[in-house]
């Protein structure tokens, strides 16, 4: 895995088409919130299908927690949109079908010469794209549990919300 994708480093602000076909920049997608950035192999991978079922459970919490999810693969925008709809995911999917970003980030899974996909990787980002936590999901158990993600979101949110401690009257 790319040695630059470690806590404390900033991710480059790349642009990719989303599942609708619109070009989106990572900084725009982050807004002012913590963000889960999830690179996955593709719709066809059983490990990804299993992991998405975990993220779907967290979706119902994230929707009220000022937290954003973005999933990225080398699937086409149309494949991403169909996969997203089939899952019932309510977050943004990005398509790196041209494989520009996968090379730029050094995340090409070289052992899969058929799909040339991303190495499954989960990054938890602060609003300025600083990496708070990084997980190598090449082996399934390397992926973060939902509880690990909750703890990361809590830490980031505590640091960015000036009113984390309830304001006094």
Partner 1 sequence: MSPCWVARCSTRPRGAIASATLGDDGSDGMLAAWQADDEPQPGAVKIDPRCIDADGDAAWASLVLAPRGTWLLFDDVAVSHAIRSVLAGPPVDVVSTFVTGDDRFVGAITAVHDDEPTRLRDDPFAAIFPTCLVRVGPGLLGRTPTPVGPMTQRYGAANPWPWDRFPEARA
Instruction: Out of 88, 113, 147, 165, point to the residue binding partner 1 (CB under 8 A).
Output: 88
Orientation of helix 77-87 relative to helix 46-62, angle to 10°: 60
Considering beta carbons, is residue 64 or 166 the nearer one to partner 1?
Answer: 64
State the residue for tokens 């994708």: 5
Considering beta carbons, is residue 70 or 131 the nearer one to partner 1?
Answer: 70
For the CB of residue 42, give the shortest distance to partner 1 in the complex, in Å: 20
Instruction: Out of 20, 50, 53, 154, point to the residue binding partner 1 (CB under 8 A).
Output: 20
Return d(Cα 53, Cα 59) in angstroms, integer: 10
Per CB under 8 A, does 82 bind partner 1?
no
What b/e sequence results for 106-126 when a residue is b if at least 16 CB atoms lie within 10 Å of its CB, and e otherwise?
ebbbeeeeeeebbbbbbbbbb
Return d(Cα 32, Cα 158) in angstroms, integer: 13
Binding site for partner 1 (CB under 8 A): 18, 20, 22, 24, 28-29, 31-33, 59-60, 62-64, 66-70, 85, 88-92, 127-128, 160, 162
């Amino acid at each position: 895995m790319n040695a630059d994708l470690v806590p404390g480093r900033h991710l480059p602000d790349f642009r990719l088409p989303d599942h609708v076909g619109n070009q989106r920049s990572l900084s725009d997608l982050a807004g002012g919130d913590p963000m889960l950035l999830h690179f996955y192999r593709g719709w066809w991978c059983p490990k990804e299908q299993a992991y998405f079922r975990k993220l779907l459970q967290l979706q119902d919490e994230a929707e009220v927690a000022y937290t954003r999810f973005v999933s990225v693969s080398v699937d086409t925008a149309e494949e991403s949109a169909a996969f997203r709809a089939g899952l019932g995911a309510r977050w943004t999917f990005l398509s790196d079908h041209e494989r520009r970003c996968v090379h730029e980030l050094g995340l090409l899974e070289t052992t899969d010469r058929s799909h040339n996909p991303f190495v499954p990787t989960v990054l938890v980002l602060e609003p300025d794209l600083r990496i708070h936590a990084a997980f190598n999901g090449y082996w399934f158990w390397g992926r973060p549990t939902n509880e690990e993600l909750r703890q990361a979101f809590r830490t980031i949110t505590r640091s960015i919300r000036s009113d984390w401690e309830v304001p006094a009257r």
